[in-house]
Structure 1
Amino acid sequence: MQTESGPLHSPEHIGRLPTPVVEHPLAAERFRELCNAWQAVGIPLWQFDAEGRCTDHPEHPSGFWKHLMGAPESMLRLSHAARDRLTPTQHPFEPFPGVVQVIHAPVRLSRKVIGVVIGLARCDGSDEAFARACQQVQLDQQALRHLAQDIPSRDATAVKHFAHLLRTEVSRICELDEQRTAIQSLTGNLESTYEELNLVYHISEAMALPQNPILLLGRVGPQILEVSRAASLAFVLTPQDLRPGAPAAPSEDRIVRVGRRNPPDDVLDRLAELAGGESARAAGHVLLNNVENRDEVQFARGHAEHVVAMPLRQGGRLLGAMMAIDCRDGGDFTSIDVQLLRAVADRIASFLENQRLYDDLADLFMGMLHSLVNSVDAKDPYTCGHSERVAYISRCLAQAAGLSAYTCDRIYLAGLLHDVGKIGVPDAILTKPGKLTDEEFTVLKRHPQIGAHIVEHVRQIHDLIPGVLHHHERMDGRGYPGGLAGEDIPLLGRIICLADCFDAMTTNRTYRSALPVKAAVAEIRRCAGTQFDPGLAEVFINLDLEDVFVQTRKFAGFDPAFGQSGALKAVTGHLGVSPPRDTAAWARAARPAVERAAPAKPLPRQE
């Protein structure tokens, strides 16, 4: 996309890392070691940067050098000599001709001169040259000449050899420093690559199982910030329901922010539009360094300085966008940053697409389940919606009893299926207006086992069999089909039993009219300990049963608190985490009872 300020991916917008500042051309430790070695032979060394500024000097110069270089004018002249030697000059400046001869060695980094090491060797000059040098720097000639007696004098040949030796040694140090820097850089790159691969691995592992995308992105976002240079992240998800007139999803259901920056929803929405537009298709992203100078993103000024916007696209479907906002180090985003973010975005897009497919599966599962249940309830107009109400009431009781969300969702499903066996009971018995004969009641009592037959062949809901099979058991052992008593009745059966009876009492039936809620509560209290689990009965009675009664009628057909997430957990039996402890305990409590009432071999058909 061409804009007034240039294309979104033009070279001038490719980010660069902050330029490091070189304080010492040779590392201070390296220079000290070099300086001490040369000072032992009477040649002091100074180091100057590329601007001609002195960065390092001898720590303990001898008397002559200390006296000579202690004068302010001496250092000015030495700096002049250093600047002349930073660039090739035919006649470089000599600070003290006839008294001191300069030797030097350039300091290079990647073939670029970044400084110079200057050495001073005393030479035998004329008395006139010595006097002139002292006059130039305003030093006492006699005192300096006396100090010079302790410093060995070098002839031209010796100075030439020393100059060659200094250049060789400095060059070797530069090469070693470059190699050391290259090794450190390689090590850093390997560590960074390992962290990035580790991040991608952990994100992929976290996304292997279906779960709420908003919660997942809130968890992986800090991990991405820890490894990347980004200061903040934002995720904008595309609503799944794109039908005309569909209500807009609230921002908390589609936008996740992580990090320092907190741009408003409209800014993130417009950045997401950029990421999903044609400009991002070729490059796979939109890189916006220096937002303040970009007219096409003026809406983001004050909210971001640099942005990388990544479309979350899978199989041609745009599922949302991921935005990295600003760099922690103050630099621009680079192609290396984009590579890491692209790898992460690809994993997130794959997860979102898988989650969409899981949600479709959940919708299909729940739709078929409700259709099955409704087909059973439809056999008797008086019990229409009964299974859905029992599921809702069972879930309310399970929540009030402190069971986990996972367990409550499983109980909801068991409530839906508890009467599925009635599909095998003749309509004449189910809709008979009067009292059933003993033979008819015997046929009706088969429906828990028929239901267990139906459910046992579906692996994902095999753990719901206790609710289907034992919801007509009684605490005193007079129930059916197993005649179980007390704690031998699985918890699932005890919960659904209460919910089933409450709905039956408060609903019109062919043989009697509905009881008021208060009368139903009195009956539950009277039968606690004989028909109902006394502990669960107490929890149930303490619920706002008038409200529960209203809600079961209001939401007949589907429990909105269950939703896709609950359906998905019900289908798969997991949510990417280990089952809660109370769920495991419930499963253990349920298993012995199921085995006693339902043998390992298929349940025998009863006519």
Structure 2
Amino acid sequence: MTTLPAHNQTLPAQLALRDRCHALGMPVWRFAANGKVLAGPIESGPFGDWVRSPMITRMVADAAAQWGDCEELEQREIFPGCWLVPVEERRRRRRLSLTIGLALTPEVFQAEQFLAACSSASLDAEMVRRAISPHAKYEEHCIAGLSSVLRWMNEDLSMISSHALNIETLSRQLAESYEEMSLLYRLREFMSELAQPQRFVRQACFELHAVLPFRWIGARFVDDKRHARVLAGRSFTSGELTCSTEMFERAALKIISSLHPGRSLVMSGEDAAAFGVEHAQVLAHPISLSGTVIGAIFAGEKDSEDYEVTNIELKMVEAATGYVAILAENAGLYEDERSMFLGLLRALTASIDAKDPYTCGHSERVAELSADLARAAGMSEAQVERVRIAGLVHDIGKIGVPEAVLRKPGRLTDEEFGMMKQHPEIGYRILRDIPQLEDVLPGVLHHHERFDGKGYPHALSGDRTPLMARIIALADSFDAMSSNRTYRSALNRQSVLAEIEKCAGTQFDPQLAHLFLGLDLSEYDEMVARHQSQTESGCGITGVAA
């Protein structure tokens, strides 16, 4: 059975964790419970040579040996600026393996052990310093949070891998009939749509109705968002209900409250009449997560000579509810991991914004403005989400611009402006090796291009500039004009909108500029107020700092 590509389950959980740490600039080692090295860092170049140096290798192995006798694992600084973050893999109470990530802070370059490690591998210290600098981006106060994030990520990956195995096992077992296998195959095609679980449930009802002799198939979920998550309070039907939708929802919710995990209920008489079914049976099978019933699939008004529910029909509905339950749980894990990933990005970009009190919250505001404009331009919600992420990380390249330039009062010299103009390409280089961000790179690289071709870094004009970048360019300029800067005060709203209208066709895409002028900016104003409050108390940052 195919696995769920959205979470990279084709790789074992530990390999997926290694690859994600690599994308975050963290080399990892994996040790067996007996201390044997199972896998080392995959980094290449001077950075890889340094982390594989005899000194670093020995220090990591020593830490792994010491952790081998510990029940509780905590991050450890092996020398100034060099932290080890342990993540264990357990089965029941037994530790199977230990993954150790190495996180560097800028202080590492002042540590004598940095030079000693270079010397132990006969490496040029300056060359290693240049190679490591982009990865020495963590702050000491964030290491504990990073340790928690990696532990949660590992748990999620392990759970998702386990669920994928459960799906494969379930698929092998359900082979009683061609129709049953065909149904499961068609449902499986939609299992990767973790961002749209509603679509999967709707498709499950449709497929069941297509192969089972019932007049209608329906699904109903409890209203408790804590358990049913995004499916809470939703109902789905396929076929012709024998009662109103409202009547079905009320009757279904009442039945769900009496169901037990794994136990079907076949109704007739008064119970079936609540669904508008008088002379046939209604089947209900619970959808359960972690022992809690979160909903049920119903089948009613059997359209055949034998009006009683058969075992094969029961098993097919049961199989479909199993898939819905797995999809619902994986969709919850997907949403949790997505929120975690976006949280890391927000923390990273907020740390960059916080370098200058005048730009506190800038990236978040640009992200939301860009999303609003993308939606107004007719993009799908999936595309809107990618534009939002691009807007969030559009200025990440400023991590490579000297802080003295970023915070300089007054206008920049030509040399300083040249440094500032490098940030789109720096940002592109930082993000290009992260697979999850591949499609947002055009927005990062080209958000300072102009419609007339006088922008940078590549002087693209018109439609040659990607649409995502043209959208971010507008949002970025609007927020810059609307914010106080060291060299000028913020412009009022009327002046900013007049400037956008004036620059349509020169600096900005004229069609996007027209759409922008029609946006509702009330949520933007609320964000500005919130960020101003944060600025007064210090621009708040949580998570990984750049």
Q: TM-score range by the shorter chain?
A: 0.5 to 0.7
Rg bigger for which structure?
A: 1
Partner residue in 1 for 2:185: 201
**Equivalent residue of 2:189, what SS?**
helix
Closer, same or farther in 2 for the Cα pair 1:222/1:478, shift >3 Å?
A: closer
- Check conservation: 1:272, 1:322, Cα contact below 8 A: no
Partner residue in 2 for 1:257: 237
Partner residue in 2 for 1:324: 299
**Equivalent residue of 1:360, what SS?**
helix
Q: Is 1:416 aligned to 2:400, yes or no?
A: no
Q: Is 1:362 aligned to 2:338, yes or no?
A: yes
Distance 1:408 1:448 in 2: 21
Alpha-carbon offset, residue 290 of structure 1: 2.3
Distance 1:236 1:344 in 2: 14
Closer, same or farther in 2 for the Cα pair 1:340/1:219, shift >3 Å?
A: closer
Q: Is 1:215 aligned to 2:215, yes or no?
A: no
Closer, same or farther in 2 for the Cα pair 1:453/1:273, shift >3 Å?
A: same
**Equivalent residue of 1:313, what SS?**
strand
Closer, same or farther in 2 for the Cα pair 1:467/1:231, shift >3 Å?
A: same
Alpha-carbon offset, residue 233 of structure 1: 2.5
Q: Is 1:285 aligned to 2:263, yes or no?
A: yes
Pairing of 1:88-487 with structure 2 (within 5 A): 193-238=177-222, 241-242=225-226, 253-259=233-239, 260-261=241-242, 262=245, 263-275=247-259, 277=260, 284-292=262-270, 300=274, 306-313=281-288, 316=291, 318-329=293-304, 331-487=307-463
Per-residue displacement from partner, 1:9-30 (whole Å, max 9, x unpaired)? xxxxxxxxxxxxxxxxxxxxxx
Alpha-carbon offset, residue 526 of structure 1: 2.1
Q: Which runs of 5+ in 2 are unaligned?
A: 1-175, 533-546
Distance 2:520 2:321 in 1: 48
- Check conservation: 1:389, 1:552, Cα contact below 8 A: yes
**TM-score, length-scaled by structure 2:** 0.58
Distance 1:428 1:240 in 2: 51
Closer, same or farther in 2 for the Cα pair 1:237/1:481, shift >3 Å?
A: same
Distance 2:458 2:202 in 1: 48
Distance 1:424 1:239 in 2: 48
The count of residues paired between Structure 1 and Structure 2 equals: 352
Partner residue in 2 for 1:528: 504
Alpha-carbon offset, residue 451 of structure 1: 0.8
Alpha-carbon offset, residue 501 of structure 1: 0.5
Distance 1:483 1:450 in 2: 17
Alpha-carbon offset, residue 419 of structure 1: 0.6
**TM-score, length-scaled by structure 1:** 0.53
Corresponding letter in the other structure for 2:269: V
Distance 1:209 1:538 in 2: 35
- Check conservation: 2:195, 2:334, Cα contact below 8 A: no
**Equivalent residue of 1:472, what SS?**
coil
Alpha-carbon offset, residue 195 of structure 1: 2.6
Closer, same or farther in 2 for the Cα pair 1:287/1:492, shift >3 Å?
A: closer
Corresponding letter in the other structure for 2:212: S
Closer, same or farther in 2 for the Cα pair 1:230/1:400, shift >3 Å?
A: same
Per-residue displacement from partner, 1:507-542 (whole Å, max 9, x unpaired)? 12222121122211221222223222233223323x
Distance 1:258 1:385 in 2: 46
- Check conservation: 2:205, 2:219, Cα contact below 8 A: no
Corresponding letter in the other structure for 2:351: S
Distance 2:340 2:231 in 1: 27
- Check conservation: 2:225, 2:232, Cα contact below 8 A: no
- Check conservation: 2:272, 2:282, Cα contact below 8 A: no
Alpha-carbon offset, residue 253 of structure 1: 4.5
Alpha-carbon offset, residue 217 of structure 1: 1.8
Distance 2:420 2:395 in 1: 11
Corresponding letter in the other structure for 2:469: G
CA RMSD of aligned residues (A): 3.1
Per-residue displacement from partner, 1:263-304 (whole Å, max 9, x unpaired)? 3434212312232x2xxx5xx323334233xxxx59948667
The percent of aligned pairs where both chains have the same amino acid is 40
Alpha-carbon offset, residue 258 of structure 1: 3.2
Closer, same or farther in 2 for the Cα pair 1:463/1:378, shift >3 Å?
A: same
- Check conservation: 1:517, 1:545, Cα contact below 8 A: no
